[in-house]
Structure 1
Amino acid sequence: MTSVPENTPQHTTDDARPTTAETRTVTRRRRSRRRALIAGGSVGALALGVGSAVGVAHAHKTVELDVDGETRTVTTFAGDVEGLLAEQGVDLSARDVVAPGMHAALDGDADVVVRTGKELTVEVDGTEHEVWLTALDASEALNLLHQRGSDVQLVASRSQDRAELPIQLHAGQQVAVVHDGEVDVADGSEDLAAVLATTDVTVDDDDLVSVATAHDAGVAATDVPTGTDVPRVAVVVERVEVKKVEKTRTIAHDTVTKTSAKRYEDLDAKVRTAGKDGERTIVREVTTIDGKVVSDEKVSAKVTTKPVTEVLVQGTKARPEPEREPEPATSTSGATYSGSNRQIGQQMAAARGWTGSEWTCLESLWTRESGWSHTAANPSSGAYGIPQSLPGSKMATAGSDWQTNPATQIAWGLDYIAGRYGSPCGAWAHSESVGWY
């Protein structure tokens, strides 16, 4: 704790109050002397050097009264410090400090120092505290607080876009203002808000403003104008940005397979419902201080597009046993064909010029429809024969033996394909697209 310099008391027997000119003379003589009294807690009893109070309790006295660095010379008949302060309208709280003590007797030419307590938010080694100090300015406060920890700063209170401290920064000295990668220098006798205004530094609701020693703030001689001493105190403005960042994640769709007794088991699974991936949107709140990420927290995560499950249908219907090779069949044109139904179909298709890829399409189409069985019947739809005519009686236009003669069925089926789709590959493409032809 820094005490007030002792003063040699002066006694006077002149009960008359000093003239205005005398008061001003004493005031000018003493105003340059600055007292530093840093303390916390209740009203102090820090004694100043005083002489004997005998016989002077009610004498006329000239007293220099210093209240938070503002000094004025007053005259009084008060016998003690308490009476002087009451006379001058100086009210004290339990956090204030006065020297000498409240009940100390007053001598002529006495000095009375009052320091009011101010509540400050301080950060010591990364932890914030609320403390009461009687320091005159931030420089004195930091000097005292450095006894509690190595990394100390005063945290400014905020009122929207205004930053405030209840004490001056550094009376009579310059201070550094560190902001946006720059260092400015301003008069520290102003309050914090005025210093920021002088250097054209604006702050928003999120920005952090603190006061530290220039050393702790990293201010070096190369940061200030040439010929300017490095200030002891620095105002540090940290730009805080809080942003919402959205990211999306893919939700893979599921696949399920269902069975159908209406579909042949040797056919590939058929897609009933096409699958589609979904999407999840994640929102994170990212906080940066001077461009450096200090916090990255997830604030929400929700499915913005639901996935669609892919549904496949696998047949369980068994293919009928291959029939005994039929006798040579004769078409309505009188042509005779021999071999299996497939072979007859290939011969009759070739007669139309449908070979190569067209035969491949025809073979695949009727394998799917009937397995080339001329007696294949679909009980649910009534389709019949190799081409699965619906109804089967339509094939009577190709011959009355349509129920038993594969050549008749094939002839009708080839005419149907030529008339409706132009070629077997046209019919096959339609069947692939919609499941029938």
Structure 2
Amino acid sequence: MTSPETAPIETGTAPQTPRTGRAKRRAIVASGTIAGLLLAGSVGAWANAAAQKDVTLTVDGDVIEATTYRDNVEGLLTEHGVELGEHDELSHPAGTDLADGLAIEVVRAQEVAVLLDGEQESVWTTAEHAGEALAEYLAQGREAAMLVSRSTDRAEIDLPLSSPAVFVVGGEERTVELIPGSTLASGLEQADIELGDLDEVTVTSDQDGRSVVTVVAVSVQEVTETETVAFTSTEVTSDDYLQGTSRVTTEGVDGEITRVYEVTTRDGEEVDRELVSEETTQEMVQEVVTVGTREPEPEPVATSSGSSSSSSGSSSSTGSSSSGSSSADQGSAPTSGVWAQLAQCESGGNPSIVSSNGLYHGLYQFSVSTWQSVGGSGLPSQASAAEQLERAKILQARSGWGQWPACASKLGLL
């Protein structure tokens, strides 16, 4: 039996499927893709270059040279983390498109304490210095000043001073060129002004926007003053002294009050005074004048010794009459009371006595000039005792008991 025949295998080259078209398409596609990518890259590079901007951003004086792809100012601020406060100033609106070379500035606002028309207020300002901040209010006709803090050892304000600045001390004004950005304390040092503990400092502005610093020297000192209190006088009565007479029985002495004041001065002018203490440093002594109330003793009745002798013999009568006539001329000296006591002390009660030097006469030892000043004539020692008493009373009423100092003191009349 024969095996089944195997069909012969052809060894010739098998026909190849045509590939030329697909490969070309792939090559074309590949070439196109590469070209597209190259074109896209060029366009993208151009677009990126067009989107990139070189700008300058200044925030509170700090300058940033920025390269950004942001479209507008707001985006730039966001990119750099800059947040605007309600009162801050921006040089360009937030929606402004960015462009190469654009300079954007952010100025931060500060809250400062000022006195406006005498009232303290807090205001926001973007001014660089105090003068500029206040100039706007002054231009409106308002009174404006920067409040100065004395909470530290050095006076300060919320803003630096302008340069130059004007300093007014003791009413004298001078202009000083300051280092830019100088604080008030620094400006005072540069102007060689040393503040006292209580001195007042005011910062205002002039019409040119310059800071004007006014310093008022304030002093508080204790001042001691004394006041003299004049003594007063009072009268009392006493029968130790005759009517119509008086004497000072207690000498008056002026009193004194010492007061201590706290006195405040501004530039040497007193503006306030407060009483700190008051003390009587010398008591006033009241003068006491004692007025006499005692009535004088009645004058004795003068009698003529000649009358009693007339009943005797004629020779006696004649002698008595002569003696009586002499007594009548002299009268009788007082025998009791203060005038009798004074006469006894001054002259021994002798109305015709004359002092050894011949200057003083009679009961009360009148000098001739004093006698004449009270209406007497002739010599006092030649007048009657009654007239001498009358003239003595006139003298005492006019000049007091001091006319007879020794005897008046001895008798307690002085």
Match of 1:315 among 292, 307, 311: 292
- Which residue number corresponds to residue 234 of structure 1? 212
2:407 equivalent to 1:428: yes
- Identity percentage over the alignment? 25
Match of 2:169 among 170, 179, 198: 179
TM-aligned CA distance change 1:117 to 1:351, over 3 Å: closer
- Which residue number corresponds to residue 200 of structure 1? 192
- Which residue number corresponds to residue 271 of structure 2? 295
- Which residue number corresponds to residue 148 of structure 2? 156
Structure of larger gyration radius: 2
Normalised TM-score (structure 2): 0.55
* 8 Å CA contact retained: 2:247, 2:413: no
Match of 2:121 among 114, 122, 130: 130
TM-aligned CA distance change 1:86 to 1:311, over 3 Å: farther
- Which residue number corresponds to residue 253 of structure 1? 231
2:106 equivalent to 1:113: yes
* 8 Å CA contact retained: 2:131, 2:206: no
Q: Structure 2 CA distance, aligned partners of 1:107 and 1:260?
A: 117
Deviations, residues 246-295 of structure 1 (Å, cap 9, x unaligned): 4444323221111123322232x22122112223445555544444x362
Q: Structure 2 CA distance, aligned partners of 1:231 and 1:185?
A: 15
In the TM superposition, what is the alpha-carbon distance from 1:200 to its structure 2 partner? Answer: 1.4
- Which residue number corresponds to residue 275 of structure 1? 252
The one-letter code matched in structure 1 to 2:131 is S
Q: Structure 2 CA distance, aligned partners of 1:115 and 1:266?
A: 98
2:244 equivalent to 1:266: yes
The one-letter code matched in structure 1 to 2:192 is D
SS at match of 1:276: coil
Alignment of 1:131-146 (within 5 A): 131-134=122-125, 135-146=127-138
The one-letter code matched in structure 1 to 2:148 is A
Q: Structure 2 CA distance, aligned partners of 1:261 and 1:204?
A: 70
The one-letter code matched in structure 2 to 1:277 is D
Q: Structure 2 CA distance, aligned partners of 1:326 and 1:89?
A: 136
2:353 equivalent to 1:350: yes
TM-aligned CA distance change 1:352 to 1:255, over 3 Å: closer
Alignment of 1:280-429 (within 5 A): 280-281=257-258, 287-291=264-268, 293=269, 295-297=271-273, 299=275, 302=278, 304=280, 305-325=282-302, 338=327, 339-342=331-334, 345-347=348-350, 350=353, 353=356, 356-357=359-360, 359=362, 427-428=406-407
Structure showing the higher helix proportion among its residues: 2
The one-letter code matched in structure 2 to 1:299 is L
TM-aligned CA distance change 1:234 to 1:247, over 3 Å: same
Match of 1:212 among 183, 204, 229: 204
TM-aligned CA distance change 1:241 to 1:322, over 3 Å: same
In the TM superposition, what is the alpha-carbon distance from 1:141 to its structure 2 partner? Answer: 0.6
* 8 Å CA contact retained: 1:243, 1:285: yes
Unaligned runs of 5+ in 2: 1-45, 306-322, 335-342, 367-402
* 8 Å CA contact retained: 2:223, 2:263: yes
Q: Structure 2 CA distance, aligned partners of 1:115 and 1:85?
A: 16
Q: Structure 1 CA distance, aligned partners of 2:63 and 2:409?
A: 104
In the TM superposition, what is the alpha-carbon distance from 1:190 to its structure 2 partner? Answer: 1.3
Q: Structure 1 CA distance, aligned partners of 2:129 and 2:82?
A: 23
The one-letter code matched in structure 2 to 1:431 is K
Deviations, residues 195-243 of structure 1 (Å, cap 9, x unaligned): 111121111122222223345xxxxxxxxxxxxxx98333222333444
Q: Structure 2 CA distance, aligned partners of 1:323 and 1:65?
A: 127
The one-letter code matched in structure 1 to 2:285 is V
TM-aligned CA distance change 1:184 to 1:103, over 3 Å: closer
SS at match of 1:168: coil
Q: Structure 1 CA distance, aligned partners of 2:410 and 2:213?
A: 80
